[in-house]
Amino acid sequence: TDSHHSILSFSLNSFSVESEKLQSQARVIDELSTLSDSPAPAVTRILYSEKDNLARRFIKGIMEQVGLSVREDAVGNIYGRWDGSEKGLPAVATGSHIDAIPFSGKYDGVVGVLGALEAINVLRRSGFQPKRPLEVIMFTSEEPTRFGISCLGSRLLAGSEALVNTLKLAADAQNISFFDAAKSAGYNLSPDDLSKMVLAEGSYAAFVELHIEQGPLLEEEGLSIGIVTAIAAPASIKVEFEGNGGHAGAVLMPNRNDAGLAAAELALAVERHVLESGSIDTVGTVGILELHPGAINSIPSKSHIEIDIRDIDENRRNGVIEKVHKTAINISQNRQVKLSEFKIINQDPPALSDKSVIDSMKFSTEQLNLSHKFMISRAYHDSLFMARISPMGMIFIPCYKGYSHKPEEYASIEDISNGVKVLALTLAKLSLE
Amino acid sequence: TDSHHSILSFSLNSFSVESEKLQSQARVIDELSTLSDSPAPAVTRILYSEKDNLARRFIKGIMEQVGLSVREDAVGNIYGRWDGSEKGLPAVATGSHIDAIPFSGKYDGVVGVLGALEAINVLRRSGFQPKRPLEVIMFTSEEPTRFGISCLGSRLLAGSEALVNTLKLAADAQNISFFDAAKSAGYNLSPDDLSKMVLAEGSYAAFVELHIEQGPLLEEEGLSIGIVTAIAAPASIKVEFEGNGGHAGAVLMPNRNDAGLAAAELALAVERHVLESGSIDTVGTVGILELHPGAINSIPSKSHIEIDIRDIDENRRNGVIEKVHKTAINISQNRQVKLSEFKIINQDPPALSDKSVIDSMKFSTEQLNLSHKFMISRAYHDSLFMARISPMGMIFIPCYKGYSHKPEEYASIEDISNGVKVLALTLAKLSLE
Ligand SMILES: [Mn+2]
Ligand SMILES: [Mn+2]
Ligand SMILES: [Mn+2]
Ligand SMILES: [Mn+2]
């Protein structure tokens, strides 16, 4: 077709590797990583913290440099827009997040935001003119660190009154409410503003996210690009046990109801029930386990654990959640502790990539002579929620040993550059459709 | 004997219950409890914190009101002295602590400090004149909360070069060194000053501590006074595991080495090995269990647990410690996590009360027509260390349901008053010997 032909010639002219450009991209990633609350190489960037605010300003600055018109919504999703030649058409969007869980790395999310801006930069310098608008989105709080809610920004766009109600009550570990935290970062919003964020299906023509794989497959198989066909179904659960506590020397063993040991048992049960699923695709993690009062000579009177369970098969995952719930009840009975909370924070269905977006990603990869495979995303992403209102696709690039969510996370600038090229070409192609 | 006779007449004249005096004592306990970093009824008073400093000033003020001469040593043990009629004799001492672990109660330690001052007050108002000096000691950091070292002040008096070396490296959770923390509270001390604190055996003629039982026996049996014959042998252990961490969605179960699950297994093993001892007197607790990085979607790459194991039989306790150590090694092998620390912080022998101090406590209890029993202290106290340099005894009073180290901790003002009377008479008797 004509549009394929014009992209093809554009790609062959503009996508040569310039080592100077690569170095400058590496510098920008490094610069963003210094906006962190933990010493390098660890990155910690928490929603509405001072460092998060500085990083937001940094991203808006680049959007302006690249020539995009910048807009921010009520919770701080940031949009950089390049108008298309045909007014009124829904935009093709791309983007990811820049928040980082405590002591994590500098590529998760960041590659999909800075890479998207670089892709736009490449397209603009090449003289490309989109038909549909192109939009880069930096989503607010993909990570659940502060308020326990993942993909906050994209969830709100996809629409959820339940989420709005949850946010009305949400508070962080310091008991700062979501609204106060937002206000302190300059987002003076009301619950009404949240409800108004919902986008109608069809608001975007397509959404594409570039991301590091966060798994070892591409590196192990020596492939450049992963074309994501589905995102696994994540669920997260908060559990609290309460016992009587007491003095570690004075309360004899038969008189105890130790909330900490209840939590320890449940953490091990999560592992057991996940393994019982029999599928390699079922994973479960207890990443948070807190004891109260937390003194060596005090029997824990309260415990709090947070559980993450995922699968590409939603029913199988829900079966594990049920088993974990039953075991929590059994533990509370056996240990005579109160199961004061067993709350499923989210229990999202999996998302499928859109066939036409997959086709565009595959076409672009082949045009650029890059090796690829189709794969499943075991981590979730803002794409999981954008898929509810838009055709969705994801581009994965290799990362060192599959490491993510830790300081050793690494993607080479060559691999990032390959991802940026595939993204640029995919956006260009989709914008002309 | 003459001395017995003079105490007897003194006690019959002076020890009537005055409801006004009782109310004022309850007020002083309440007032001290407000110097806390947690909302009432919970009390949190951590070594060298602002609230700890205010509480120290409060205690020194009462010592001065009562007419004692006040002195403070390098780490802030506070001494209030009443000179005796015969110069040069070693003093009879009493005292306890006022620091409080997070979210604990207002009686642990406090009863032994404020009660000692009230006992002195009673003796002074009654016209009693001691032969040996009487001294009230408020010990620094009986609780191990901030630097992981229990009975800091009394351990230093009992002498331990190993402890001085530990303190040179000690830092709290915010990485503030022991010396910096002390300095911020006005104690500008050097390691040398610590070494100089050691007291020779015989520096005190006797040491007696009044304390709530922290167990249910006196209340259950309807008795007023517990005469402590021995203090159980406490040990504390720090353990750290290290794994590879990683993304909770992306790292498949067979590829994990989860430091958090290793900690959970060890916590349950502590309970198992303690129960295997077969004795009701063996107790073990995991009061601290921390995961790093502590995010719901991150596999724990590090875990830290602190274990408290006690027994009245030192060898049996040490056998449990050995089993826990072996299990920690097994867990690290099975889960392929590194056992990066297994450190026995302290492993103290039990202490026996002195026969002549026991006799004095029993004599006083009987003089006052109070019911009593001989008992073992399962909690440790500064008395455990004072016993190394002085004849030692402890007076227990009932507390509600045996609760301690939690906000529900409670002792009635009548029970406290009985303890104060027994203490006063015991001090009087010992000071004349
Ligand atoms: Mn992430
Ligand atoms: Mn991400
Ligand atoms: Mn205590
Ligand atoms: Mn105590």
User: Rounded CA gap, A203 and A305, in Å?
Assistant: 38
C-beta atoms of A249 and B283 within 8 A: yes
CA-to-CA separations, A404 to A110, A327, B299, in angstroms, rounded: 12, 30, 10
- A-chain CB neighbours of B211 within 8 Å are none
User: Rounded CA gap, B314 and B293, in Å?
Assistant: 37
User: Rounded CA gap, A416 and A28, in Å?
Assistant: 13
Where residue B6 falls among pLDDT bands split at 50, 70, 90? low
Read off the pLDDT of each residue in B275-292 and give the average, rounded to a whole number: 96
Half-sphere exposure of A217 (CA within 13 A, CB side): 18
User: Rounded CA gap, B337 and A17, in Å?
Assistant: 42
Percent of chain A scoring above 90 in pLDDT:
90
Read off the pLDDT of each residue in A396-423 and give the average, rounded to a whole number: 95
Model pLDDT, residue A13: 52
User: Rounded CA gap, A206 and A199, in Å?
Assistant: 13
Model confidence pLDDT, tens digit, residues B301-344 = 999 999 999 998 999 999 999 999 999 999 999 999 999 999 99
Cβ contact A224:A397 at 8 Å: yes
Model pLDDT, residue A115: 97
Task: Of A324, A227, A216, A224, give the one whose Cα is nearest residue A268.
Answer: A324
Model confidence pLDDT, tens digit, residues A313-332 = 999 999 999 999 999 999 99
User: Rounded CA gap, A167 and A159, in Å?
Assistant: 13
C-beta atoms of B251 and A300 within 8 A: no
Q: Which residues pair with A91 in a beta bridge?
A: A204
- A-chain CB neighbours of B239 within 8 Å are none
SS3 B210: strand
Read off the pLDDT of each residue in B185-192 and give the average, rounded to a whole number: 94
Instruction: Report domain extents, chain A.
Output: 2-232+350-432, 235-347
Give me B141's structure tokens: 């950091």
- Residue A188: how many other CB atoms lie within 10 Å: 11
Model pLDDT, residue A218: 96
Least confident span in B18-22, B125-129, B155-159: B18-22
Model pLDDT, residue A16: 54
Minimal-distance CA residue of chain B relative to A237: B296
C-beta atoms of B293 and A232 within 8 A: no
CA-to-CA separations, A355 to A426, A429, B348, in angstroms, rounded: 13, 14, 69
User: Rounded CA gap, B402 and B397, in Å?
Assistant: 10
Minimal-distance CA residue of chain A relative to B407: A246
Cβ contact A380:A139 at 8 Å: no
C-beta atoms of B214 and A104 within 8 A: no
Nearest by CB: B379 against A249, A261, A307:
A249
The Cα diameter of chain B in Å comes to 83
Model confidence pLDDT, tens digit, residues B211-230 = 999 999 999 999 999 999 99
User: Rounded CA gap, A140 and A47, in Å?
Assistant: 7
Model confidence pLDDT, tens digit, residues A156-190 = 999 978 899 999 999 998 999 999 999 999 999 99
User: Rounded CA gap, B19 and A51, in Å?
Assistant: 59
Percent of chain A scoring above 70 in pLDDT:
96
Q: What CA dihedral angle connects B181, B185, B190 and B196, to 10 degrees?
A: -120
Tell how far the Cα of B241 is from the centroid of ligand 2, in angstroms.
27
Alpha carbon A167 to chain centroid distance?
Answer: 18
Model pLDDT, residue B16: 54
Where residue A21 falls among pLDDT bands split at 50, 70, 90? confident
Query: Which of the residues A297, A343, A408 would you substitute to probe the B interface, choosing the one with the greatest number of B C-beta atoms within 10 Å?
Result: A297
Model pLDDT, residue A23: 81
Above 90 in pLDDT, residue B19?
no
Tell how far the Cα of A112 is from the centroid of ligand 4, in angstroms.
56
Task: Of B128, B126, B150, give the one whose Cα is nearest residue B140.
Answer: B150
CA distance A362 to chain B (A): 23
Domain at B2-232+350-432, CATH class: alpha beta
Q: What is the DSSP letter of A88?
A: T
Read off the pLDDT of each residue in A93-104 and give the average, rounded to a whole number: 97
Where residue B164 falls among pLDDT bands split at 50, 70, 90? very high
Model pLDDT, residue A233: 85
- A-chain CB neighbours of B288 within 8 Å are 291, 294-296
Q: What is the DSSP letter of A16?
A: -
Report the sign of the C-alpha dihedral through residues A396, A397, A403, A406, in that order.
negative
DSSP H/E element including B231: strand B225-231
Model pLDDT, residue A87: 83
Tell how far the Cα of B60 is from the centroid of ligand 3, in angstroms.
21
Where residue B420 falls among pLDDT bands split at 50, 70, 90? very high
Where residue A12 falls among pLDDT bands split at 50, 70, 90? very low
C-alpha R_g of chain B: 23
Tell how far the Cα of B211 is from the centroid of ligand 4, in angstroms.
7
Main-chain dihedrals φ then ψ at residue B366, nearest 5 degrees: -70, -40
Model pLDDT, residue A372: 98
Read off the pLDDT of each residue in B361-387 and give the average, rounded to a whole number: 96
Nearest by CB: A405 against B287, B297, B308:
B297
Minimal-distance CA residue of chain B relative to A215: B250
Read off the pLDDT of each residue in B248-273 and give the average, rounded to a whole number: 96
Read off the pLDDT of each residue in B222-244 and give the average, rounded to a whole number: 96
User: Rounded CA gap, A413 and A397, in Å?
Assistant: 11
C-beta atoms of A296 and B274 within 8 A: no
Read off the pLDDT of each residue in A193-207 and give the average, rounded to a whole number: 95
- B-chain CB neighbours of A280 within 8 Å are 252-254
Tell me the pLDDT of chain B averaged across its residues.
94
Nearest by CB: B378 against A236, A250, A402:
A250
CA-to-CA separations, B391 to B3, B111, B141, B198, B402, in angstroms, rounded: 20, 21, 22, 16, 27
Cβ contact B32:B111 at 8 Å: no
User: Rounded CA gap, B426 and B370, in Å?
Assistant: 14
Above 50 in pLDDT, residue B2?
no
- A-chain CB neighbours of B378 within 8 Å are 249-250, 252
Model pLDDT, residue B12: 47
C-beta atoms of A283 and B150 within 8 A: no
Minimal-distance CA residue of chain A relative to B409: A246
The answer to whether the peptide bond before residue A293 is cis (omega within 30 degrees of 0) is yes
User: Rounded CA gap, B354 and B47, in Å?
Assistant: 30
C-beta atoms of B249 and A286 within 8 A: no
Cβ contact A232:A310 at 8 Å: yes
CATH of domain A235-347: 3.30.70.360
Model pLDDT, residue B1: 44
**Protein residues within 5 Å, CB atom, of ion ligand 3:** B 108
Give me B215's structure tokens: 């167990």
Burial class (CB in 10 A: 0-12, 13-18, 19+), B381: buried
Task: Of B212, B242, B13, B239, give the one whose Cα is nearest residue B107.
Answer: B212
CA-to-CA separations, B190 to B52, B194, B266, in angstroms, rounded: 21, 7, 38
Cβ contact A289:A263 at 8 Å: yes
Half-sphere exposure of A241 (CA within 13 A, CB side): 35
CA distance A47 to chain B (A): 14
Tell how far the Cα of B108 is from the centroid of ligand 4, in angstroms.
5
Minimal-distance CA residue of chain B relative to A263: B264
SS3 A214: coil
Cβ contact A147:A141 at 8 Å: yes
Model pLDDT, residue A18: 64
DSSP H/E element including B211: strand B204-212
Report the sign of the C-alpha dihedral through residues B300, B306, B311, B315, in that order.
positive
Read off the pLDDT of each residue in B80-98 and give the average, rounded to a whole number: 96
Model pLDDT, residue B14: 55
Above 50 in pLDDT, residue B101?
yes
Model pLDDT, residue B10: 56
